Structure 1
Amino acid sequence: MPTIPLHTSPAQAAVTNPTNPLPQLLQTPSGLAILEIQGSINLPAASPSSPTISIGRLVFPDHTAGGSPENKSWMKRVHLYVGQHQRLTGEVKKLPNPVAVIRKRDSGEATAEVVGLEIAEIVYYKVIFSSRPEPVGT
């Protein structure tokens, strides 16, 4: 059975990015967050000129910039706008067990040898959307 060493990533500076629209609780150095959607999203096919597809936008209506970090009332309502005509309502939940995101450790050489893995991020919260989409007028 092969054994692969697991390392922690180098210390990362605290997240203080004023241009990040996510509330501080969801800001992570690598920008990772977990979205849980109960169902599926019908997306258009990606075009060769633009391989990325915009799913929608996240809005935290009760979050105020510069608010008290202890105030978690904004976690009760989050909107995910899908396209121009649908809105999902959800909330931010703390995970019962944190999830570690790992990646291959870069050896700096062009070899196929596995050097090891490193923990890129530990995620403590998820944004969950469990209700049916609501129609939104334009």
Structure 2
Amino acid sequence: MPTIPLHTSPAQTNGKSTINPLPKVLQTPGGLAILEIQGSINLPAASPSSPTISIGRLVFPDYTADGSPENKSWMNKVHLYVGQHQRLTGEVKKLPNPVAVIRKRDSGEAIAEGDELEIAEIVYFKVIFSSRPEPVGT
């Protein structure tokens, strides 16, 4: 049975200040969050000039940056706008068990020593969308 060493990720401080648009409870150093969509999203095909497709945007309508950290009422409503004509409404839920995101460790050393993994993030929350999309006007 092969064994692969697992390490914690060193603190990533590169001197750059990044603005993370997620509310504080959802922020991770990499800006990761889990989205759970119960259904499928129909997306247009990617074009050769633009290989990435914009799925939409997340909006936390009840979130205020100056709010009390104990006030979690903003977690009850999250909108995911898909394209210009659909909106999914969901909520933020704490995961029963945190999920670790791991990646191959970049040690800069020879591959002969074997692969090593590091924990890139630990995700504690998910944004869940369980209702049908609502039509919205432009």
Q: Normalization by structure 1: what TM-score?
A: 0.91
Structure-2 residue corresponding to 1:72? 72
Asked if structure 2 preserves the Cα contact closer than 8 Å seen for 1:30 and 1:121, the reply is yes
Which residue is equivalent to 2:55?
55
RMSD: 1.7
**Structure 2 portions without partners, runs of 5+:** none
Q: CA deviation at 1:11?
A: 2.8
1:102 and 1:118 in contact (8 A); partners too: yes
Shift of 1:109: 4.2
How many percent identity over aligned positions? 88
Which deviations, in whole Å up to 9, do the C-alpha atoms of 1:31-64 show, x marking residues without a partner? 1110000000011111222221100000000001
Q: TM-score, normalised by structure 2?
A: 0.91
4+ residue stretches of structure 1 with deviation over 4 A? none
The match for 1:10 is 10
Partner of residue 97, structure 2: 97
* Unaligned 5+ runs, structure 1: none
8 Å CA contact 2:91, 2:127 repeated in 1: yes
Secondary structure at 1:123 match in 2: strand
Q: Measure, in 1, the Cα distance between the counterparts of 2:29 and 2:18.
A: 13
String of CA shifts for 1:66-121, please: whole Å, max 9, x gaps.
21111100000000000111000000000000000000011214637533100000
**CA-to-partner distance for each residue in 1:8-50, whole Å, 9 max, x for gaps?**
011346xxx6732211111110111100000000111112222
Partner residue, 2:118: 118
Is this contact kept in 2: 1:107–1:115, CA < 8 A?
no
